[in-house]
Amino acid sequence: MTTKNSLYERAHRRRNPLTDRWVLVSPHRNTRPWNGETHRSSQAPRPRHDPACHLCPDAQRATGERNPPYTSVHVFDNDFPAVEASPDNDSAAGPDNSALFAAQPVSGTCRVICYSPDHDRPMSRLTDTEIARVVDCWADQTRALGAQHRWVQVFENKGEMMGCSNPHPHGQIWATDHLPDELNVEDEQQRLHWSRHGSPMLRQVADHEFEGPRQVLANEHWLVIVPYWATWPFETLLLPRFGVRRLDEIPVSARATLAGALGDLTRRYDRLFDCEFPYSMGWHGAPYDGTIHDDTHRRGEAALHWQLHAHFFPPLLRSATVRKFMVGYEMLAEPQRDLTPEQAAAQLRELATSRR
Whole-angstrom distance, CA of residue 267 vs CA of residue 131: 13
Residues 4-43: b if buried by 16+ CB within 10 A, e if exposed: eeeebeeeeebebbbeeeebbbebeeeeeeeeeeebebee
- Cβ contact 231:344 at 8 Å: no
Alpha helices in the chain (DSSP H): 128-146, 181-197, 201-209, 252-272, 329-332, 341-349
Residue 111 is which amino acid? R
Tell me the C-alpha distance between 309 and 200, whole Å. Answer: 12
Which residues are CB-contacts of 319 (< 8 A; sequence separation ≥ 6)?
273
Residues near 94 by beta carbon (within 8 Å), at least 6 away in sequence:
103
SS3 16: strand
**Are 277 and 238 within 8 A, CB to CB?**
no
- 252-272 helix and 341-349 helix, angle to the nearest 10 degrees: 100
Which residues, at least 6 apart from 3, have a Cβ–Cβ distance to it below 8 Å?
none
Q: How many CA atoms lie within 13 A of 62 on its CB side?
A: 6
Active-site position among 170, 193, 221, 284? 170
Chain centroid to Cα 355, Å, comes to 22
The span from the CA of 170 to the CA of 229, in Å, is: 28
28 is catalytic: no
Rounded Cα distance between 2 and 145, Å, is 46
Burial class of 143 by CB neighbour count within 10 A (0 to 12, 13 to 18, 19+):
middle
Instruction: List the catalytic residues.
Output: 170
